[in-house]
Structure 1
């Protein structure tokens, strides 16, 4: 069954115990298709996730451990995800249960958890002076760059050895696979308690994030370029399962949706398509725009193309999203800028200069694209597509406000007058 067969499909990934608990609340969301994916050890997750990303629009994981294993696959798909966070409440409920039902002290319990601080926080806030003697943590799991594997056997051995040496009477674990193996070995053990509010809250959060993610993926995506033959554009659109249209400005546009384009970006297929076109046409620039309407996506794609054309490289691709955040050049050392500048200082300066915030923001990004190097009025005129006289008027306004300073001159031709060069003053550099 495909994700497109339903309005929204959400996959829940966890152990059988977790699925048994959370599935009780699926009925609260009848307008969603919620699918359970169970595993017994982290090693099974690769195949499970490969299947889930094809069937669902969003994935929720039972905790940080399955999410840690899945993230290397998730980065290749435009699918949203969340996980149930470990918290101090789980530790507090588990310790209360152990004390009330088993009458054990902390020194008689071996504990594993992501960070020791969760336990120390509970003891400190409860005013308990006693400290735990046997604690094993795995804080590296929160490091997004860490690709280490969690050794289930290491944790099982840790708890088992302490119990067999009669140093402990119970193992409290935060890892389902460890709990299952301890049970098989006959070691008294308990899995950290996940409260009903925590589970229901996690599911509700996943539903909300899934809706937001779906809204984004269904946005219009437009790709525009100049000086490309119609045949090549048609082939490009066909490979994206998209359609070709013309913009009001006369540019050829390829229209698709954000979800499709994000997939092509993540799996590098878009880079391959652009490389093929570069091989045929030489230096080439592309602009990608996202928006809630075709008009908005088209406008953003054209703006992104303007930035791409300023890059002196063989192939430059820029992307402008619905929040006017510019990313690029894609597939290289990309950076991100916010074209929608709501900085109060920008608004104040635009008023003093009698220049629109939009034009001042564009000027700031002109400086950024040129790495704040000295520039001439000719370069500014080319960037804004205005006359040299208009560019000089803009520069004069900025000089009068001491936002620019004269950096020197250049002599581009043997004959003729030298051109003045300008550079940003400290106030403008502070707006980077």
Structure 2
């Protein structure tokens, strides 16, 4: 089966890719041409059904980020690496020999040029470099090369952006494009294909869901059919107040991403929902059952096959790990006897804050648990040196001051 990939690039890039697309078996490329990188964001809504989207560089990819977030398929872009710099300089030495210090170069990672020159023993020569990103207007990049060349500081411009190349050329300046090696382009397209196949594989995995109401009430068969249809699920009635749904991870994930959960809930009927992912039906069923234990009225939770708990939907999709795999976190959980879920919640709490300092009340509000439970968690962390009291605050006139805490272990793993 062919993997269909949408390619967004300049006319020159697409023309070059067409010349060797026959070397990409089992891949069908659909081409979309832009004049300037920022056009990519407007092209995304016009893309026809495909398995993945490939961008010719980081610029169009970054410009289209907001549109990409709405895509239900994976995206990839060609990264400009030191091979591109080496290939460009080698080609230049054969076709238009120019002293390195007489070059002006714009690129995303200018440090790559310095690394290449160091590798080939030209550390005593430095070109004029401009680090570019999407905050730059194309006119700024054009001006960078133009001023240097007109002042005689440089003899040749090397640009990473086709639109800049065209402008400089139209203005009568000496310019060449950065060359992306054929091997790098082929590898990037093949990586995009692998990403698409992996995405399909993950989306096709089994997902099991539960719909549960209070014993005193029951959800209508029509409502269950509506929910099942939205995720293309088969349903089994377990009891008057419990239904099981069998679907795929892709369908469930799309429903959650698009906030279908809001339409599933009915304020006049207390409904709990849960979903579980797994490599087998048994694993997915167990994960759904575990997720259901966290659900409260008119909320839903999802437990993935890697034991990541997401929810409560539709109010939040905060992620909590119910399994520790980082050795350091395993050690902390073991020493403090905190559950993986509670430790993960504390870590997520700390990551979400602008300040490293917090009170027991701050943590209590975030965890949505009792003060006693919060203080028990903090005591366990403090007793083993993973949290410490660094001060006190008194924001009210009576009572005891609140202790101010700070965590004492890395949270960014």
TM-score band (shorter)?
Answer: 0.7 to 0.9
Post-superposition CA distance 1:311-367 (Å, at most 9, x none): xxx643321122222222345454323334456799999999xxxxxxx99x54367
The structural deviation recorded for 1:229 is 0.5
1:168 aligned partner: 154
Is 1:108 matched up with 2:102? yes
From 318, 328, 340, the equivalent of 2:301 is 318
Query: 1:79 Cα shift?
Result: 1.2
Unaligned runs of 5+ residues in structure 2 are 350-359, 361-370, 387-408
TM-score, with structure 2 as normaliser: 0.74
Shift of the 369–196 alpha-carbon distance from structure 1 to 2, 3 Å rule, reads closer
Question: Equivalent residues in 2 for 1:229-240 (5 A)?
Answer: 229-230=219-220, 231-240=222-231
How far has the Cα of 1:368 moved from its partner? 6.0
Distance 1:367 1:172, change over 3 A: closer
Report whether the alignment pairs 1:290 with 2:277.
yes
Which residue of 2 is the match for residue 179 of structure 1?
165
- What do you get for the CA RMSD once the two structures are aligned? 3.8
* SS of structure 2 residue aligned to 1:224: strand
Q: Aligned match of 1:62 in 42, 46, 56?
A: 56
Instruction: State the partner residue of 1:413.
Output: none
Report the TM-score, using the length of structure 1 for normalisation. 0.71
Deviation at 1:280, TM superposition (A): 2.9
- Give the conservation status (yes or no) of the 8 Å contact 1:77–1:263: no
Map 1:10-409; keep pairs closer than 5 Å: 10-52=5-47, 54-138=48-132, 140=133, 148=135, 150-227=136-213, 229-230=219-220, 231-246=222-237, 251-266=242-257, 268-274=258-264, 277-282=265-270, 284-309=271-296, 315-342=298-325, 363-365=339-341
The answer to whether the Cα contact below 8 Å between 1:242 and 1:256 also exists between their aligned partners in 2 is: yes
SS at match of 1:279: coil
Shift of 1:111: 0.9
Aligned partner of residue 293 in structure 2, secondary structure: helix
5+ long unaligned stretches in structure 1 = 1-5, 142-147, 353-359, 374-406, 410-420
Secondary structure at the counterpart of residue 305 of structure 2: coil
1:58 shift after superposition: 1.0
Flag the 1:243–1:428 CA change in 2: closer, same or farther, 3 A.
farther
Question: SS at 1:328's partner residue?
Answer: strand
Classify the secondary structure of the residue corresponding to 1:226.
Answer: strand
Determine which structure has the larger helix proportion and give its number: 1
| Equivalent position of 1:425 in the other structure | 380
The number of aligned residues is 360
Change (3 A) 1:347 1:249: farther
Distance 1:205 1:136, change over 3 A: same
- Note the alpha carbon deviations across 1:115-166, whole angstroms, 9 max, x for none: 221122222233323343522112x55xxxxxx4x42222123223333333
CA contact (8 A) 1:289 1:297 kept: yes
